[in-house]
Amino acid sequence: MKTAIHSILFVFISITAAQAADQPNIVFFFTDDQTTSTIGCYGNDVVQTPNIDALAARGVRFENAFVSHSICWVSRTTILSGMTGRSYGTPGNPELARAGAVDTLYSDILRANGYRTGYFGKWHAKMPKGYVKEDHFDEFEAIGRNPFYKKQPDGSLRHETEVIVDRGIEFLKSQPKDKPFALNMWFNACHAEDGDRRPGIGHFPWPRAVDGMYDDVDIAPPRLSDVAIFDALPAFLKTTINRE
CB-neighbour burial class of residue 63 (10 A; exposed 0-12, middle 13-18, buried 19+)? exposed
Catalytic residue status for 124:
yes
For the chain, state the CA radius of gyration: 19
* Residue of 6, 41, 69, 124 with catalytic role: 124
Q: Which of 107, 189, 115 is nearest to 146 (CA)?
A: 189
Catalytic residue status for 69:
no
Neighbours of 192 (CB within 10 A): 19
Neighbours of 128 (CB within 10 A): 14
Q: How far apart are the first and last CA of the chain?
A: 31
Cα distance between residue 216 and residue 63, in whole Å: 31
* Residue of 72, 136, 159, 191 with catalytic role: 72
Cα distance between residue 115 and residue 136, in whole Å: 12
> Which is it for strands 116-121 and 25-31: parallel, antiparallel or unpaired?
unpaired
User: If DSSP codes are grouped into helix, strand and coil, which group holds residue 185?
Assistant: strand
* Residues with a known catalytic role: 72, 124
